Amino acid sequence: MIRYKDSKTENLSKGLKDSIQLSIDENKGLFVFGGTGTGKTYAMHALARGKGKVENFPELLVEYRDYMSRGSYFERIVFLTGQDYLFIDDIGSEKTSDFVIEFLYILVNKRYGNLKRTVFATNLTLDDFRDRYGDRVISRIVEMCVMVDMSGEDRRLS
């Protein structure tokens, strides 16, 4: 994405850098949550540099539905769950449905089972995330990730 082409980890806050180091030390991913405009997407792009692509969750769902219509959806799941790193941004900005919950569960469960690092970003609190996607999903995410609270003011409005 052009907007974040110059994103760098050295521009991240000390607290976020500490969380990143902890996730490296513990061989875990990150679950980054906080309000709109607090720098989550910037951080995702900085972290993904050289490791993978940041996937926007609503766009990922549209793409997956397209794969389903062509009958090749399993290949896409294998690709997404097989990468060493997966960066998923804006979880919770989509319209939630049984399909969305099932899709997220499959991604999380396969990556959890294969010990793959995943970085999630959402505007939802942990409780809201649990209410929306269920105990199975959040339980796995809590075990596989370091929690990072990026609450604060919307930098875009400042």
In tens, the pLDDT along 100-147 reads 999 999 999 999 999 999 999 999 999 999 999 999 999 999 999 999
Phi-psi domain of 19 (left: phi exceeds 0; alpha: psi -120 through 50; beta: other): alpha
Q: How many CB atoms lie within 10 A of CB 158?
A: 6
Please give the pLDDT value at position 136: 96
Residue 118 structure tokens: 């995943």
Please give the pLDDT value at position 4: 85
Read off the pLDDT of residues 17-74 as tens digits, 9 standing for 90 and up: 999 999 999 999 999 999 998 999 999 999 999 999 999 999 999 998 888 888 777 8
Residues 152, 154: Cα–Cα separation, whole Å: 7
CATH number assigned to the domain covering 31-149: 3.40.50.300
Q: Is the pTM of this model over 0.85?
A: yes
Domain boundaries, the chain: 31-149
Read off the pLDDT of residues 80-101 as tens digits, 9 standing for 90 and up: 999 999 999 999 999 999 999 9
Residues 138, 130: Cα–Cα separation, whole Å: 6
* Relative orientation angle of helices 57-69 and 73-82, to the nearest 10 degrees: 140
